[in-house]
């Protein structure tokens, strides 16, 4: 069983729709939770990060962490074609030297 | 501001050949990492370094070697290339301390094919 599970998609939505992405994990020691966005043939870039449980909002993006269920989510409101990318969840334990455990990534396609 | 720079961007190797993937960062980050990304598998950590002269194995180190003689550079060496090493390789860096060590900055990647 993988430590981090993420549906690879693709997830196709019309412009303006809400995109809902999620990951589940098995390691209860994970404390830091991140979402990276990766455009085709580019390196990942940090989109959102959350420490422990709770919600975090940044513009059109909302990240949620439910540690009791070992489940994290990313919501993109008012999706735009420029949001078309692969979204990777990542997580790490405290004091783990920044070593990240990544999900497989979900490919999102926003159609005009 | 260049960030993390990887060279080459693409490479085709024959089985048994060797090569070095170069990575340099200009952000004065202590931590550097090498990941490989295979389709549908996410990124797997190969090696990491917490400072010059200090390196350690990640999740998938077999077939690779690293060195860290300066803060800026973290080359990845492939010896005796095998088809299983066909992948996209990403170098990343981050700075330690508080919450900010969670933000890893990635290079553009090196696409390697072993035939």
pLDDT single digits (tens) A14-48: 999 999 999 999 999 999 999 999 999 999 999 99
End-to-end CA separation in angstroms for chain A: 37
Greater confidence (B64 vs A9) lies with: B64
Cβ of A42 within 8 Å of Cβ of B90? The answer is no
User: Six-digit token pair at A29?
Assistant: 């020691």
Average pLDDT taken over every residue of chain A:
92
Whether residue B94 lies within 8 A of chain A, CB to CB, comes out as yes
pLDDT in the model for residue A100: 87
Cβ–Cβ < 8 Å for A102, A90: yes
d(CA A65, CA A31): 10
Q: Say how far apart CA A37 and CA A48 lie, in whole Å.
A: 9
Residues on chain A touching B33 (C-beta within 8 angstroms):
98-99
pLDDT surpasses 80 at A98: no
Q: With a cut of 70, which residues of chain B have pLDDT below it?
A: 1, 96-102
A89 neighbors A74 (Cβ within 8 angstroms): yes
pLDDT given at position A44: 95
Which pLDDT value is given to residue A93?
A: 86
So what's the pLDDT on residue B83? 96
Do residue B50 and residue A97 have CB atoms under 8 angstroms apart? yes
pLDDT score for A61: 97
Residues of chain B in contact with residue A44, where contact means CB-CB under 8 angstroms, are: 43, 90, 106
Residue B98 pLDDT: 53
Q: Give B109's contacts in chain A (Cβ within 8 Å).
A: 41-43
pLDDT at B41: 82
To test the contact with chain A by mutation, choose from B43, B87, B109 the residue with the greatest count of A C-beta atoms within 10 A, namely B43
Given this model, what pLDDT does residue B1 score? 67
Of A97 and A8, which is predicted with more confidence?
A8
| Cα angle B52, B9, B106; round to 5 | 50
- The C-alpha atoms of residue B40 and residue A7 are separated, in whole angstroms, by 9
pLDDT for A36 equals 95
Among A58, A62, A65, residue whose Cα is nearest residue A90:
A65
Confidence bin at A9 (pLDDT 50/70/90)? confident
Q: Do A44 and B43 touch (CB under 8 A)?
A: yes
| Distance (Å, whole) CA B46 – CA B60 | 5
Asked whether the bond before B75 is cis by omega within 30 degrees of 0, the reply is: no
């Amino acid at each position: 069983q993988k430590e981090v599970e993420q549906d690879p998609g693709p997830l196709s939505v019309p412009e303006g729709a809400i995109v809902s992405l999620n990951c589940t994990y098995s390691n209860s020691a994970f404390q830091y939770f991140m979402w990276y966005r990766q455009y085709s043939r580019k390196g990942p870039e940090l989109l959102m990060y959350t420490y422990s449980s709770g919600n975090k909002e940044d513009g059109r993006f909302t990240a949620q962490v439910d540690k009791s269920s070992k489940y994290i989510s990313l919501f993109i409101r008012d999706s735009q074609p420029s949001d078309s990318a692969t979204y990777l969840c990542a997580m790490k334990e405290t004091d783990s030297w920044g070593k990240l455990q990544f999900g497989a990534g979900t490919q999102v396609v926003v159609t005009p | 501001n260049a960030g993390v720079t990887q060279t080459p961007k693409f490479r085709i190797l024959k089985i048994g050949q060797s090569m070095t993937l170069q990575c340099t960062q200009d952000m004065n980050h202590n931590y550097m990492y090498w990941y490989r990304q295979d389709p549908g598998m996410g990124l797997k950590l190969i090696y990491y370094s917490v400072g010059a002269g200090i390196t350690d194995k990640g999740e998938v180190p077999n077939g690779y070697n690293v060195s860290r003689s300066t803060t800026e550079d973290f080359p990845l060496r492939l010896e005796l290339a095998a088809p299983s090493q066909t992948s996209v390789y990403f170098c990343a860096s981050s700075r330690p301390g508080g919450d900010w060590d969670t933000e890893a900055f990635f290079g553009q990647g090196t696409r390697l094919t072993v035939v």
